[in-house]
Structure 1
Amino acid sequence: MKKKVLIIGLTERMGGVETFIYNTTRFSNKEKYDYDFLIHGTDEAIFQNEINKFYGDGEKRFYFVPSFKKNPIASYKALKKFYAQNGQKYDYVHLETGATSEIVYVFPFSLKYNFKVISHSHNGNGYSPIINSIFKPIVNKVSDIELSCSDEATDWLFGTNRRSKVKIINNGIDTNRFAYSDKQRKRIRGNYSISEDTLVIGHIGRFSEQKNHVFILEIFKEVVKRNKNVKLFLVGTGELKKEIENKAKMMNIEDKIIFCGVQEKTEEFYSAFDIFLMPSLYEGLPVVGVEAQSEGLPCYFSNNISSQIKITDNANIISMEKGASYWAEKIINDNKSLSQDRSKYSKIVSKAGYSIFGTVKELEGVYGVED
């Protein structure tokens, strides 16, 4: 009998959790199990059209409720109605999150309708540590299965004492898609009139406090002092984009920065980059970090990111206590001896256990899907 799973975690934005959900959906076996999606705080969801096209059966799969944080009464009423109509059809409700407070979209309805709750941690820190600590006991009490993308993400959502009880699910990617392509590199660089001898530093991520774009600019300015023939590609959008654009102008480096906006074919941009930069303030195990390594990019991650992100020899983890000048020096010095063979890394990442096919297989085991 086919398993029915409700996924909570999609938003209207392109992000790591959203990408993970989309990847595991489109590589799933829809003959054995399928997903519905509950989205809160918006009336649209990223990848909604793509997922509906994947299933192609015309069934309703996307449900929307108000944000509990912004309007708790309206949210509770909508959730009560939703679960009254749908709660009994789900084998699992799979909560994919970085915040314990999102358990309110599951509890207490799980008690009434007797579906199993999977809590899946995708972040290594968060905006509200006090709130997180309040809801953590509820998450641990309500969750039938606890999943995580890294040890740091486990500690954040469940607590350090839960490591032995939490199953790690790697943030797998389509390594065939994210394999270096010289053709893609030339096309993207040509589109932006970037010569092959120009050093391109790239970042893909939402413009939010977490991604630390201000420090990216500070590092880049130090790189410019040492190498004038350099460009910075910033792919993505978000609430702080305008602020970062203004900051770049104040620092007099805006002419060397390309704000690329949201891009669907991010694999082409990785190929165009020479360096991937990610000095995040906190992360679990970022999908973009896996994608960048699969494309053979030298990567520079902050030590706020899980050490498990070091999948290949191209991954460098640098302390946030080091200043922008230190980061810039390392990038410049490493660039003098960059490996030219980037095509081999997709296979290395796959063998390390970060293929989407392996991730989907792990989830099937969690759901009890048989071969």
Structure 2
Amino acid sequence: MKRVLQLTDTIEKRNGRMSVVMNVYRKINKENIQFDFLVTDYGHENYYDEITKLGGHVYFLSSRDLSLSKIKDKFLKVIHLRKYDFVHYHALSKWGECISYAKQHGIKVIVHSHATELSDNFVKSIRNRIFSLNILTCADERVAVSPEAGKKLFLWQNFEYIPNMIDYDKFKYSNITRNKIREKYNFSNDDKVIGIVGRISKQKNQKFALAVLRQLIKENKNYKLLVIGEYDDKGKKYFQMLKSLIRKYGLERNVIFTGIVLNVWEYYSSLDLLWIPSLYEGMPTVAIEAEANGVPIILSSQITKSLKINGNVSYLKVNNCSLGSWVSLSKRQINSREFNSISNIKETIFNSKRVLTQWMRLYGL
């Protein structure tokens, strides 16, 4: 059996990288390959129970002890506990120090790029570029979730493009589910429900979504925004700013924060439109999930165009000058659900069997 040590920084359920890894982990043949995880313990709801049930091990380092020396010590202890064939590094963070030590101990290194920016903060972008310099010399395999994400991290070096995978049948549209979720939030038949899914943060740009919603309800009070996701400690101030804007714009009856939900696949059926106004993304899994469901989507033009599978997917710039475009396109797109979406996906590079084969090739299987 081959064993892979995944360096994802976190195993939180709200983390996009982890949803990508878990979608693969659930489908692999555990007799041939097994995943373990070496991550930071942030104390939030996570996949620990599921990972251990699948046969994997999780090794935590407290967020209070996240110095480079502690990371090195923890990594060396873990790789001496078990023989690892691969270290698979996913997050631009201090954990990137481990790939140099992996090479020194004869472990092959796979580096996976998940974003088109190194950070939404200039200083942190410089820091993360420094953290990633050893990638250029230590990576045996380079992988990216989109062409844009690969070029950003790997610069001039070659990489393999492997799109994110979902269990798309799980996201199939259901009228029963639609009615259940809409009843939960007391939406009427006349309400036009727009969703935005993901961590509440500057990167996901919920602030821009509020500005668009404000313009929409000037014409029709029945527009609702369902914000599906939670904020972490870093996003608390951003969340408070959003709440202030909601009060300022008079949107209290039009914006619903769901918090973290564990059945997000059901929520897509309840939506009439999905917005993804992110400042940057590698390959947002929520977009693939929404396309499987057939809900129309408007995405930031900063996001890879590789996502356009159905005919009801559009891209627009995200700035003050584009507010009018988001408003007018939202009104046109809101009732354009695609009901052949699953068949469409199966004919593309997002086919789950194809993606799983690409992952297994990384591990020599």
Under a length normalisation based on structure 1, what TM-score does the superposition of the two structures give?
0.90
Which secondary structure does the structure 2 equivalent of 1:232 belong to? Answer: strand
Matches of 1:6 and 1:100 in 2, distance apart?
Answer: 16
How many Å apart are 1:142 and its aligned residue? 0.4
| Aligned residue number for residue 147 of structure 1 | 143
Which secondary structure does the structure 2 equivalent of 1:80 belong to? Answer: helix
User: What one-letter code is carried by the residue in structure 2 that aligns with 1:62?
Assistant: V
User: What one-letter code is carried by the residue in structure 2 that aligns with 1:360?
Assistant: L
| Aligned residue number for residue 256 of structure 1 | 254
Question: Residue 13 of structure 2 contacts residue 47 of structure 2 at CA under 8 Å; is this kept in 1?
Answer: no
| Aligned residue number for residue 125 of structure 1 | 117
Q: 1:112 to 1:84 in 2, by over 3 A?
A: farther
Judge which range, 62-71 or 199-208, deviates more. Answer: 62-71
How many Å apart are 1:47 and its aligned residue? 1.4
Cα deviation digits, residues 86-121 of structure 1 (max 9, x gap): 3xx111111122x275421322x2133211000000
Matches of 2:311 and 2:164 in 1, distance apart?
Answer: 18
| Aligned residue number for residue 243 of structure 1 | 241
| Aligned residue number for residue 105 of structure 2 | 113
Q: 1:150 to 1:68 in 2, by over 3 A?
A: farther
Aligned residues: 354
Matches of 2:201 and 2:297 in 1, distance apart?
Answer: 20
Matches of 2:33 and 2:195 in 1, distance apart?
Answer: 37
| Aligned residue number for residue 215 of structure 1 | 208
Under a length normalisation based on structure 2, what TM-score does the superposition of the two structures give?
0.91
Runs of 4+ in 1 over 6 A off after TM superposition: none
Residue 185, structure 1, aligned to residue 185, structure 2: no
User: What one-letter code is carried by the residue in structure 1 that aligns with 2:87?
Assistant: V
User: What one-letter code is carried by the residue in structure 2 that aligns with 1:118?
Assistant: I
Q: Percent identity?
A: 29
Question: Residue 149 of structure 1 contacts residue 284 of structure 1 at CA under 8 Å; is this kept in 2?
Answer: yes
Judge which range, 232-241 or 126-135, deviates more. Answer: 126-135
User: What one-letter code is carried by the residue in structure 2 that aligns with 1:180?
Assistant: Y
Q: 1:126 to 1:297 in 2, by over 3 A?
A: same
> Aligned-residue CA RMSD in angstroms?
2.0
Question: Residue 207 of structure 1 contacts residue 241 of structure 1 at CA under 8 Å; is this kept in 2?
Answer: yes
Judge which range, 139-148 or 192-201, deviates more. Answer: 192-201
Question: Residue 66 of structure 1 contacts residue 74 of structure 1 at CA under 8 Å; is this kept in 2?
Answer: no
Cα deviation digits, residues 133-184 of structure 1 (max 9, x gap): 334431010000000011111122111x22xx20111101111001111111
Structure 1 unmatched runs, 5+: none
Matches of 1:177 and 1:346 in 2, distance apart?
Answer: 10
User: What one-letter code is carried by the residue in structure 1 that aligns with 2:130?
Assistant: I
Q: 1:28 to 1:45 in 2, by over 3 A?
A: farther
Q: 1:325 to 1:345 in 2, by over 3 A?
A: same
Matches of 1:69 and 1:62 in 2, distance apart?
Answer: 17
